[in-house]
Chains A and B, each alone.
Chain A
Amino acid sequence: AQSVAQPEDQVNVAEGNPLTVKCTYSVSGNPYLFWYVQYPNRGLQFLLKYITGDNLVKGSYGFEAEFNKSQTSFHLKKPSALVSDSALYFCAVRDLNSGGYQKVTFGIGTKLQVIP
């Protein structure tokens, strides 16, 4: 079975400060990992993914994420937060070793609030 946890319901950060949104996962094999962002009254938009290779993955809008296999984490980061980054962020995982349809499991989401 695969699962993903986003331990914080909400993260508050001041504009210009670095931000981190946490994600941990559990899979039996190797993971594909994704981050998505959802703005109010919109669907989810893909930000970045980890498949293999470099542990630091760069994505859209200046976001990056660090894959840590020993800690089974995939935290989303940005060096300098913008007010426009305020949104709901979802981490998702897929287990490469699962048979049949390779289902994606989403976390419950973390609300990011960037304070001017």
Chain B
Amino acid sequence: DVKVTQSSRYLVKRTGEKVFLECVQDMDHENMFWYRQDPGLGLRLIYFSYDVKMKEKGDIPEGYSVSREKKERFSLILESASTNQTSMYLCASSFRTGSNQPQHFGDGTRLSIL
């Protein structure tokens, strides 16, 4: 079974802090994704990566950056956290672009910015 592991289930940070969310997958997937989930808005794509050191902006990249130095690890960075970034963050992975394979999700990080 594919396992996608997010380093923290719950995180509380202060406004202005630099925040790192980590995600690791164990199935050698090429694609990795970061979403945020908010009530009434569903899942919105922040960034995705289709290969090591490659990244593409999603629908809501402002205020975020990402890093993918190794194939199995994809990090989301909040450069200067703000209260409107309080949300549930979900990491996912899948086989390469163009395949019909589903995405596999981690259990999420619930981030609160005070």
Question: Which residues of A come within 8 Å of B, CB atoms?
Answer: 32, 34, 36, 41-46, 49, 51, 90, 101-104, 106-109
Contact = CB atoms under 8 A, between A and B. Distances in A.
Contacts of B84: none
A109 B42 contact: yes
Interface residues of B, number: 24
The 8 closest A-B pairs by CB, nearest first: A43-B105, A108-B42, A46-B102, A106-B43, A44-B105, A43-B107, A51-B100, A106-B42
B71 to A, nearest CB: 17
B91 to A, nearest CB: 8
Contact of B41 (A36, A45, A101, A108): A108
B108 A42 contact: yes
B106 A43 contact: yes
Interface of B: 4, 9, 35, 40-43, 45, 48, 50, 56, 58, 90, 92, 97-98, 100, 102-108
A36 to B, nearest CB: 8
Contacts of B40: 108
Nearest to A35: B102
A42 B37 CA distance: 12
A32 B42 contact: no
Nearest to B40: A108
Contacts of A46: 102-104
